[in-house]
Amino acid sequence: MSVSDLGSAPLGRLFWRYVTPTVAAMLVTGVYVTIDGIFVGHLLGQDGLAGIMLAYPICAVLYAVGALIGMGASSLASFHLGKGERALARHIVGNALLLVLLASALLGGMGLWWGDEALRWMGAEGVIFDAGLDYLNWYARLGGFAVLSMAFTSLLRNDGRPGLTTCILVVGGLLNVLLDYLLMVVFPLGLAGAAIATMLSQAVTGLWALSHFFTARSHLRIRRHTLLPEWHLMGQTLRLGISSFLMYLYLSVVLALHNKALLWVGSSLHVAAYGVISYTEAFFYLIFEGIAMGIQPIASFNAGAGHRARVLRIRNLALGVTLMVAVAGWVPLYLWPEGAVWLFAGDNAELLPVATLGIWLYFWGLPMEGLLLVGATYFQAINRPRIASLLTGGKLVLIGLFLFGFGYLFGVPGVWLSLSSCSTLLASIMLAAMWQESRQHGSLRA
């Protein structure tokens, strides 16, 4: 199936062809993120979980910038492919590589220079600070690979190679697990070992994905002239990618603010409990992300080609599948929350009741969180960055108000309830915008 089939092939077949390998790749990522958490929780205990929870929000900025470049360039390139402008699409990809190199150098320097101050602001101290700083410094040294991997696996999927993208991510995930074992068990390097393992696996996935764009098999092949900087193309890429940037930055901010709020109304034990919750949530979040990234090339191409009915149908299909996954996720979470605690922390009698209560209060809004992620990516894909940025930027603004407002009123239980409450409010706004979009399409057809 070629890229041009995005505008003519049956939507059901297209959906499963793009979404299935993307979700599979995200599930593999979810498995190795889970195993990462298992290694940390079982080998380093609740101090290790607290250390990684305080350091990771800073490190996650790398993935936010990778998404900014990758999803912005992917949506823009696919949009122009839909209009038949392949040369322009290739130039967008070449300039995306320039943006990756510039961002990697800038972020690495900032991490090494200000990382310790950022970690202290997060509330880390003592052995938790030392472990977190080791983790953070290795992310700063090797973090360019995270930006590269995030950007070019997205672009590879838009080049009509979802299967190859899945293969690359699976290999990277398996390598991450192997390196976790070597650098945390065989060579007990603590959180530094976890960071090195992750970054080396990102190096493999990023360089492998990038290499495809220098071959004749690529529709978006990078050549010397496509690497000449075109500032207006870079600007359009960043403008269109801002929604994904805010989405991933939101993950960083929400982790950081949860940590601050929990230390304000609770203790480091509650931060460790949040570590269990976050690792559990990541598994579902990655499935939602797989659905969102899977439909993005389809929605972008058809929006560019003017096939409005196909755009709306792929949107509705994605939202329906997202809702089913989220509802299915409720079953294990509410029937056996102790299982998640045991998985990441073992038989920790002190942590068990705290984390179990957190799971009960935290996950009621899981469907709204999934719908919001897929919906924001959809609006970005069809070149409507304003509403996409409103949804993701709104979360950045509102989550702090919910966390500290609910924390002040209800203590730790209020912190657990905040994310779902915020997502439900924004998802309601998003669904109203989609209903208006469908009405406009209906009136145009009439």
pLDDT, tens digit, for every residue of 164-175? 888 898 898 889
What does pTM read for this prediction?
Answer: 0.74
Buried b (16+ CB within 10 A) or exposed e, 329-348: beeebeeebeebbbbbbeeb
Calpha distance 86→90 (Å, rounded): 6
- Maximum pairwise Cα distance, the chain: 68
Task: Convert the pLDDT of each residue in 310-360 to its tens digit.
Answer: 989 999 999 999 999 999 999 999 999 999 888 888 788 888 999 999 999
CA distances, 235 to each of 68, 230, 292 (Å)? 11, 9, 23
Calpha distance 204→183 (Å, rounded): 17
Position 4 scores a pLDDT of 56
Position 3 scores a pLDDT of 59
- 444 pLDDT higher than 60: no
- 390 pLDDT higher than 90: no
Between residues 218 and 345, which one has the greater pLDDT?
A: 218
- 365 pLDDT higher than 90: yes
- 1 pLDDT higher than 60: no
Calpha distance 115→400 (Å, rounded): 22
Position 446 scores a pLDDT of 43
- Residue 276: CB partners within 8 Å, gap ≥ 6? 37, 41, 49, 340, 341, 344, 345, 351, 355, 358, 359
CA distances, 305 to each of 144, 151, 377, 386, 432 (Å)? 35, 24, 19, 21, 25
Domain-by-domain residue ranges, the chain? 3-445
Position 43 scores a pLDDT of 86
